[in-house]
């Protein structure tokens, strides 16, 4: 047995041991680096890596109700290629995942950036780094913080990074069972569930509390629909949210740009989360609009409008 075979076996057994050590209630932390850790405080967390204190990171709820007016979320669907971000330069914006490349190409800085998908942190590091260096408020998952510790921990010293969390998966907190979530969420005025999909309550839902956490819904756009009203905005416009409606993945892909892998999650996860979002926005007298004409999400769930109509509504809401 050569050295590399032995090394592979050591890593394999180490991986198995870590899974067993974490157990079922902490298995959501398995994708973090083994040397990554978080100490939870009331309004912030302290990040450690290899036993060293790396940074003090505030929770996302620190920014609750700090904004108002209109906000444009910029997703990464192929339709974004035809959008001129100069048109929305006067308004607050959210860059999702690698939409930051569109902002940078037009020399525009977003107000906020949201990256949840660990694949972005692992495979498209330039987008993570560009988001942080833009100076925008960066909302990252704990897995994202772990990857930053591995790749460029000094970036966590900047003051524009916030930990945003799932309502059912928080670092250092045992994950509730489905029955425990039902009991907790059904009596919570900040949480909205789909009564026909109650057994999916750890993933499908709508939360109006950043402190309690948001529902993942299988796509980063569902995080944005919950984040925007939590931050205090009254009107929410979403660009580039094609959800496979064009048959392609992203605006920035030139080769192998096939159908997005999240199409399989449209039913029931994505659709139901947006149905709940629509109901909550109406209940709270807020506006939410889809600016992607070919989006898989129908007009009956989130109203589709043109960017010209969006700009008129945004102007009148300021």
pLDDT tens for each residue of 133-167: 999 999 999 999 999 999 999 999 999 999 999 99
| Collapsed DSSP state (helix, strand, coil) of residue 44 | strand
Strand partners, 163: 59, 140
Separation between Cα atoms, residue 35 and residue 44, nearest integer Å: 20
Note down the domain range covering 267. 30-247+260-317
User: What's the confidence (pLDDT) of residue 252?
Assistant: 62
Q: Is the pLDDT of residue 127 over 70?
A: yes
User: What's the confidence (pLDDT) of residue 223?
Assistant: 98
Q: Is the pLDDT of residue 91 over 80?
A: yes
Q: How many domains does the chain have?
A: 1
Q: How confident is the model over 49-83, as pLDDT tens digits?
A: 999 999 999 999 999 999 999 999 999 999 999 99
DSSP run (H or E) holding 112: strand 112-115
Residue 12 domain flag: no
Residue 254 domain flag: no
Overall average pLDDT of the 285-293 stretch? 97
Residue 210 domain flag: yes
**What DSSP state is assigned to residue 114?**
E
User: What's the confidence (pLDDT) of residue 25?
Assistant: 86
Q: What is the CATH number of the domain that holds 143?
A: 3.90.1480
Separation between Cα atoms, residue 51 and residue 298, nearest integer Å: 49
Residue 72 domain flag: yes
- Summary mean pLDDT of the chain: 90
Which band of pLDDT confidence, cut at 50, 70 and 90, is reported for residue 254?
low
Overall average pLDDT of the 224-229 stretch? 98
Residue 125 domain flag: yes
User: What's the confidence (pLDDT) of residue 10?
Assistant: 40
Separation between Cα atoms, residue 21 and residue 229, nearest integer Å: 38
Residue 23 domain flag: no
Q: How many CB atoms lie within 10 A of CB 41?
A: 12
User: What's the confidence (pLDDT) of residue 250?
Assistant: 60
DSSP run (H or E) holding 317: helix 307-317
Residue 7 domain flag: no
Q: Is the pLDDT of residue 274 over 80?
A: yes
Q: Is the pLDDT of residue 29 over 60?
A: yes
Q: How confident is the model over 154-207, as pLDDT tens digits?
A: 999 999 999 999 999 999 999 999 999 999 999 999 999 999 999 999 999 999
Overall average pLDDT of the 32-61 stretch? 97
| Collapsed DSSP state (helix, strand, coil) of residue 151 | helix
User: What's the confidence (pLDDT) of residue 59?
Assistant: 98
DSSP run (H or E) holding 94: strand 92-96
Q: What is the pTM of this model?
A: 0.90
**What value, to the nearest 5°, has the Cα angle with vertex 238 and ends 190 and 139?**
60
Would you call 44 exposed, middle or buried from its count of C-beta atoms within 10 A (0-12, 13-18, 19+)? middle
Percentage of the chain modeled with pLDDT above 70: 87
Percentage of the chain modeled with pLDDT above 90: 82
Which band of pLDDT confidence, cut at 50, 70 and 90, is reported for residue 14?
very low
Which band of pLDDT confidence, cut at 50, 70 and 90, is reported for residue 102?
very high
Residue 50 domain flag: yes
Measured in whole angstroms, the distance separating CA 140 from the mean position of its chain's CA atoms is 7
User: What's the confidence (pLDDT) of residue 110?
Assistant: 98
């Amino acid at each position: 047995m050569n050295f590399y075979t032995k090394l592979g076996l050591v890593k394999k057994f180490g991986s198995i041991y870590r899974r067993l050590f974490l157990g079922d209630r902490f298995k959501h932390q398995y994708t973090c680096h083994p040397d990554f850790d978080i100490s939870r405080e009331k309004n912030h967390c302290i990040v450690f890596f290899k036993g060293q204190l790396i940074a003090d990171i505030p929770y996302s709820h620190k920014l609750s109700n700090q904004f108002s007016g209109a906000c444009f979320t910029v997703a990464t669907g192929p339709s974004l290629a035809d959008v001129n971000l100069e048109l929305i330069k006067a308004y607050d914006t959210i860059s999702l995942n690698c939409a930051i490349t569109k902002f940078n190409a037009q020399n525009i800085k977003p107000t906020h950036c949201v990256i949840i998908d660990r694949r972005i942190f692992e495979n498209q590091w330039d987008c993570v780094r560009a988001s942080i260096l833009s100076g925008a408020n960066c909302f990252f998952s704990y897995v994202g913080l772990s990857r930053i510790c591995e790749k460029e921990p000094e970036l966590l010293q900047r003051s524009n990074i916030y930990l945003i969390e799932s309502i059912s998966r928080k670092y250092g907190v045992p994950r509730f069972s489905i029955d425990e979530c039902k009991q907790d969420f059904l009596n919570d005025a900040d949480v909205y569930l789909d009564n026909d999909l109650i057994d999916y309550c750890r993933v499908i839902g709508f939360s109006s509390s950043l402190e309690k956490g948001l529902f993942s819904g299988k796509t980063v756009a569902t995080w944005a629909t919950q984040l925007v009203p939590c931050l205090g905005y009254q009107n929410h416009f979403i660009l580039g949210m094609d959800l496979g409606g064009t048959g392609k993945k992203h605006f920035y892909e030139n080769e192998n740009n096939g159908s997005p892998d999240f199409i399989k999650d449209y039913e029931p996860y994505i659709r139901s989360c947006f149905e709940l979002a629509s109901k909550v926005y109406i209940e709270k007298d807020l506006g939410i609009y889809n600016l992607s004409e070919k989006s898989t999400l129908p007009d009956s769930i989130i109203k589709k409008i043109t960017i010209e109509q969006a700009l008129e509504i945004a102007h009148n809401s300021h």
